[in-house]
Each structure stands twice: as structure tokens, then as C-alpha cells.
Chain A
């Protein structure tokens, strides 16, 4: 548990952002003739859209900003700063995370005494002796892992998947023809194209900016939390603002709805690039400048390989998030005006609205396969290459 703590907390924090995105999206949902609205900021925004009330959208954005600041400062920062003591390295990290909230609890007597009952509870709880039945206790294994167990596990997975595949196939073939599959794949490829183009564009913008910031430690120290904060903001709250612009300026929905997909996820690229550039060793920078490496040569031989592993981490997260966002971003409305971009996200969203379950299932299956293939064929190899060849130190 203690060993896993820093990774656990960091990922919980990152997942929280994704969580917000879809909680907001699913608070007001229409499937066929049934409309479900849960009280919350998401349904508030949905109502605002229906009533074309831009001020309401503004309030929603403001509220969300405040909520995120609050949970970031009061919950996650203190936990991250606290979890720093679980890091395995014995050497002190260059810049340990800090939190004023945590300092407050640690250094004021009043707040400290508030925590005492919890500390006592925790102590008595974690000191409880709970003996596992002998069968369940796992002795420290010395030999290689059992082949038989692996094979069994693999068999269970394969059988489970085949069964699910078979079920899906049966379900779909009852109502849909092969041409429907072709359509879905076609739409999938269009969305894929969007994701690729958007990631490329975001990289073109944010890599230079991130490098510029990352090489200035003072600036990076300030911008980094901001980028992480922006990544945590559920971008779909801001969609209506863009939709209004598209409607007013009569822009092509197919092109201009696309940027919404990356609105919330581009920050992952930015803050990972900043982290990479900040971690770039000073001696390598000095060597580069001592040998007069400048311009394009500096980018390709010095800094780009140096930040590559970080960039890939950011780009993988950003592209995954963009696929998710496509379902929400490819269809948008403002009052009675409905905008639809051609793509798999719109396909799934429209099918959901019409209660067309076979198409929903087909769309999701195609998306799953595409995303998996995209990850396996592009990101995984790039990541492995970065780890093998470009890892510093």
C-alpha cells in the first residue's frame, strides 16, 4: 500500500478530470423517448442550451472553476504533498510538492488536534489483527510463475471475449446488414482522421510553447499547476460558447466542431512537455550550446529526443481523451439549432438519441477496436522506442 501510494494518488487525480467530463455529460441524457435529468451542473448547462441562455453557461463555467480550485487546493494538493514521503527514492527530489493546506494542518496546534481522533482511529484500525485463512495467504514465491495458471487465465479471457463477441454478432446481425458495419467503420476513420490532425496541430503549438516554458524554471513552476488545472476542467461545459460562435458566424460544423474534441485534452500535451523540458539535464544543454548547436539542429538532435518520452505520455492521454470527447463534441446544439459533424462520435450520439440500440452497440464496438488498434500500432511502439532509446540517465 505505502509503496503504491504516489502512483495511486496521481492517477486518481488525473482520472477525476475524466470523471467530471462524463458526469457532466450524463446528467442530462436522452435515450429514445426517455429523458433523464439529474440535478447538477450538467443538467443546468443542458437547460441553458435549450433556453439559449449564455449567461447561465457563464455561471456554470465559473462554478466549475471554483469547485475545481477548491478540491485541488483542499483535497488533492495536500494528499499529493503528503504522499511524497512514500516515494521510494532515498534521495530528496529536486522540488517536492508543497501544499499550504497540509502545512496548516501540520503546523497549527488547533487543526492538528482536530486530526487526532482520526489518527487514533486509523492506528487502531490498521493494527487490527485479521488473519487470513491459511488457504488464502500467499507465500513468497521463489520459482517462475505457474504456466498452468497463466494458461487457465488466458483461456478464461479468450472464452469470455469470444462469448461477448458472439453475443454482439448475434444481436447485430438480427437487425443490421454488412453495409451498416462499413458505414460505421467509415465514420470511425473520419473521427480517427480528426483525432490525428488535432493531435498533430496541438503538438505543433504546445511543444514549442512547452519547451520554452520548461527551460525557464521560475516560469515553469508557475505555469505547470495552471496547465494541470486546465486539464482537470471538464471542457464540455465550455462547448456552448464555441457552438454559439459557430452558429453566429455560420462556420462549417464539420471543421469547427472538431477543435472541441481536444479542448480539454490538449493540456496533457502541454504539461507533459513542460515536465520533460524542466527535467532536461543542464549539462546536455551546456554541451549543446558549447558546440554551437542551434536552430533546427538543436530541435531535432537535442531537445525533441529529450522530451520525447514525456511527449508520448501526454499525447497518448490526449488522444484517448479526444476519442471520448468525440461522442459529446461531434453533435452540438444551441436552442433549436443542431450542429452535427460527420463522424463516429456523432453516429453513436445520434443512435443513442433515437434509441437505436443495435447501432449504439455497433458504434461502440467499432470505436473500441479502432482505439485499441491505434494504441497498439502507433502509440505502443513509439512509447517503447522512447523508453529504450531516449530515456535520460
Chain B
């Protein structure tokens, strides 16, 4: 009985956390107390935004990163170093440019001590299976992105792993290529032609997760936790237009926008507290663009996020920070996966450039505490200049260095657009004077 249980669960993750040491004091928590079990015969998806620790979890299972606490086991054995029977497909393909397609594929077998004739046979079989015949002697440089990722798949499949790990395998490909590769892979999986037992994939594409996975774990950010688990009972091949499919996509969107995460702006933050808010880098052009799209036909100021994302061809990683920026600046309201323009937002859409800048500046000063703070300091000082370091130190009380940098970058680009204050990159100082 016990044996059966062990056989059934391939990977067991119990209470795994991962900290990264930060320059100043406290460690940065990327992954907090995560539990996960992967059984034979399922495709599991880890869905979340960047910084949610999903890639770190994948790397812990791959034996490339060790957990700070908790237990990660593969077939009952603690994972220390890459476990046997687990192969990985990389977002960036990670092919060796000095090896041909065939040599790249054979590489996975070399360390297993298989003799060269058998190696060649298995590599050719994997190449044929994944639709690469004819490309054996090509170098990766000569291939298109889609073909390169096929090599990545062949290299992983050739070792006949029990578990295939995929780290955003389609996100570096164009839309059409990615779709072809997804359906090819799903077809091979349903036909039982893949020499693997389970798949674990990391993605930030909601539709991709619903299209391929049997089970989806939604991760929240800062720190990374499993926020929810969704089962997908739809039969393969799945149809994106199927109402049940749409329903699931909608609820995933709602789940991912629902909880106000620590980094997301709170609707009614106490003044002063909000200085420590993390601002994702969102350009002022994108903000204007989204407001215009939202104000125009067919949305007329109100849109369903999945629909809007699909229409604008934006990934989750792009649409969420944008929508949140709009909410922060009170140009729109975000709730239950819906985005609604406010009165100010509607007005913004119809203004000319100079008027827009004025409105933007007003909303920045009112709603972004850090902008208000910098402006006040600059106004107070006789020299009307202030070093960026002063504000960076303040930010680092609340967040990691990396987030502090990103927040400052965002602040600078917004303030430049709004012509609120200037920034000199060489001396790293803010000032009131704009060179004319």
C-alpha cells in the first residue's frame, strides 16, 4: 500500500520556502511554504506573475536550486542535485550553438553511459517524433525559434524522463509558432506517444494553462505562495471558444486580480504609508494607449480583462501591471477581472498632449505618495535638487533593492512625462529645472 502511494506520487514538495539574501538586513522571500504533489499521468501548470517564485519552484524540483527550508523529494528521495528521470525544457531553448541538432539531442544521453549506436538510434527516434527530421545536421543558429524549441523538446524527451519540466517553453515564440508547438505536444501526449509520465510547466499565459493542463496552481507574488488550485476536466483537444473554457479563463483572471497583494496599491492607503509601494515599470505611452483602447469601441469604458488582453495581444505579465497602474492613478477601477474607466480616465482619453500631461501630473501628485514626497523635498530645498540615494534608502526600508530600483525608474519616467521634475542620470539627482 505504502509502495503504491510512493509510486503514484512522483514529486513531493512539503512546506518548501526559498530566501535570497538581500544586501541590507532581511532576506528576500521568493517562495513561502509551498506544498505540491505531482502524480504520474498529469500535466500540472504553475501560473503566476513574474516574481511569484514559480520558476524558483521549478528549479528546486530540477535540482538546480536548493530550498531554504522544507522538503523536496523525487520518488521518495530528497532532491540534492538534478535527479535522474527529470528533464527540462528552457524558455530560451538553451541549445549549445557549437553542436548540431543531432549532437544537442544526443547530449542528454551521453551522461547516461549509453553506447554510441544506441544513442544515435534513440536520438533519431526523438528527432522524428518531434518533427525535426531533415534538420539533424543543422546548427541551432540556422533554425527558426520554433524549430529550436523542438530541439529543446527532443533533447529532453530522448532521456525518457518520468517528469518533463517546462519553463515558459512557448513565451519566446511568436503566437502562431507557439500554438503549433502546443497542439503538437498535446496531440503526442493524448496519443501516449511521449516517453514521459508527467509534465510540470511554468507559464504566465492563462489560456495556455487551460489549454494544456489537468491541474493549475495559481501563485501569488511577494512572497510566492500557492493562492488557489484549479482542476481542468475538459476533454482534449480543447477548444478555446468552448463556453466552459472561457468560463475557466474568466475565473482564473478574476482569481489573479482578486486579492489586493502587498505590492498592489490599496484603494484607501493612509497618506505617508504608500511611499513604500512597489511600482512596476509601466510606460506612460502604454498607459495612454490602454486608456484610449478602453474608451473606444467596442468597450466604451468597460472591459473584461481576458477579452481586452486577447484583443491587445498582451500577456498577463503586461496587462496586470498596466491595469493596476490605471487603478493607482484613479483613471480606472479594477474588480473581478473587469476594468472600468473613471470620469478622469474618460476625460484623459479625449485631451490633447499638453492637457493630458497636466491631468497626469495632477493625478500623480495626488495618488502616488513618493512623487508627492520628492516634489515637496525639491520645493523646500533652496537648491531645488536632491540626490536619488535619499529616496532609494527610504524605499529599501520597505522592499528589496531590485524593486526599489524598478520603482524609482517608474517614478522617473512618469515624472518626466508629467514634467513634474527632472532627473540627471550621471549625477543621480532630481531637480526642478528642466533644460530648455
A and B bound? yes
CB within 8 Å for A283 and B90 given contacts A106-B426, A291-B159, A301-B96? yes
B96 touches A297 (CB 8 A): no
Which of B104-112, B237-245, B257-265, B272-280 binds A? B104-112
* Contact partner, A286, options B88, B108, B110, B159, Cβ 8 Å: B88
B98 touches A297 (CB 8 A): no
Hey, which chain B residues are within 8 Å of A287, CB to CB? 88, 90, 94, 96
CB within 8 Å for A305 and B98 given contacts A283-B90, A289-B64, A290-B64? yes
Which residue of chain A has its CB nearest to the CB of B424? A106
B96 touches A292 (CB 8 A): no
Interface residues of A in 247-303 (CB under 8 A from B): 281, 283-284, 286-287, 289-294, 297, 301-302
**CA of A390 to CA of B97, assembled, Å:** 6
Hey, which chain A residues are within 8 Å of B94, CB to CB? 281, 283-284, 286-287
Interface residues of B in 341-396 (CB under 8 A from A): 387
**CA of A107 to CA of B389, assembled, Å:** 12
Is B181 part of the binding interface, using a Cβ–Cβ cutoff of 8 Å? Answer: no
Is B87 part of the binding interface, using a Cβ–Cβ cutoff of 8 Å? Answer: yes
Which residue of chain B has its CB nearest to the CB of A392? B97
Which residue of chain B has its CB nearest to the CB of A308? B98
B82 touches A289 (CB 8 A): yes
A286 touches B96 (CB 8 A): no
Hey, which chain B residues are within 8 Å of A141, CB to CB? none
The prevalent SS among residues of A at the interface is helix
Hey, which chain A residues are within 8 Å of B428, CB to CB? 107
CB within 8 Å for A291 and B90 given contacts A107-B427, A389-B98? no
Is A338 part of the binding interface, using a Cβ–Cβ cutoff of 8 Å? Answer: no
**CA of A62 to CA of B426, assembled, Å:** 35
Is A391 part of the binding interface, using a Cβ–Cβ cutoff of 8 Å? Answer: yes
**CA of A366 to CA of B348, assembled, Å:** 78
Instruction: Determine which residue in A106, A290, A389, A391 has the highest number of CB atoms from chain B within 10 A of its CB, and name it.
Output: A290
Hey, which chain B residues are within 8 Å of A305, CB to CB? 96, 98
Is B62 part of the binding interface, using a Cβ–Cβ cutoff of 8 Å? Answer: yes
Interface residues of A in 81-115 (CB under 8 A from B): 106-107
* Contact partner, A106, options B81, B93, B97, B427, Cβ 8 Å: B427
Instruction: Determine which residue in A291, A292, A305 has the highest number of CB atoms from chain B within 10 A of its CB, and name it.
Output: A291
Hey, which chain B residues are within 8 Å of A391, CB to CB? 97
Q: How far, in Å, is A10 (CB) from chain B's closest CB? A: 21
Is B99 part of the binding interface, using a Cβ–Cβ cutoff of 8 Å? Answer: yes
Give the size category of B's interface with A. Answer: 20 to 34
Is B413 part of the binding interface, using a Cβ–Cβ cutoff of 8 Å? Answer: no
Interface residues of B in 38-96 (CB under 8 A from A): 59, 62-64, 81-82, 84, 86-88, 90-94, 96
**CA of A284 to CA of B88, assembled, Å:** 12
Q: How far, in Å, is B154 (CB) from chain A's closest CB? A: 13
Hey, which chain B residues are within 8 Å of A289, CB to CB? 64, 81-82
Which residue of chain B has its CB nearest to the CB of A302? B96
Q: How far, in Å, is A297 (CB) from chain B's closest CB? A: 6
**CA of A50 to CA of B138, assembled, Å:** 64
**CA of A284 to CA of B96, assembled, Å:** 7
B90 touches A297 (CB 8 A): no
Kindly supply a per-residue 1/0 record for chain A positions 213-248, scoring 1 wherever the CB is within 8 Å of any chain B CB and 0 otherwise.
000000000000000000000000000000000000
Hey, which chain B residues are within 8 Å of A290, CB to CB? 62-64, 82, 86-88
Hey, which chain B residues are within 8 Å of A297, CB to CB? 110-111
**CA of A389 to CA of B429, assembled, Å:** 45
Hey, which chain B residues are within 8 Å of A292, CB to CB? 82, 84, 111-112
Hey, which chain B residues are within 8 Å of A284, CB to CB? 94, 96
**CA of A392 to CA of B96, assembled, Å:** 9
Hey, which chain B residues are within 8 Å of A302, CB to CB? 96
Hey, which chain A residues are within 8 Å of B426, CB to CB? 106
Using A286-B59, A297-B111 as known contacts, list a sample of 19 further A-B pairs with CB atoms less than 8 Å apart, ordered by residue number in A: A107-B387, A281-B94, A283-B94, A286-B64, A286-B88, A286-B90, A287-B94, A287-B96, A290-B62, A291-B155, A292-B82, A292-B111, A292-B112, A293-B107, A297-B110, A301-B96, A389-B98, A389-B139, A390-B98
Interfacial residues, chain A to chain B (CB-CB below 8 A): 106-107, 281, 283-284, 286-287, 289-294, 297, 301-302, 305, 389-392
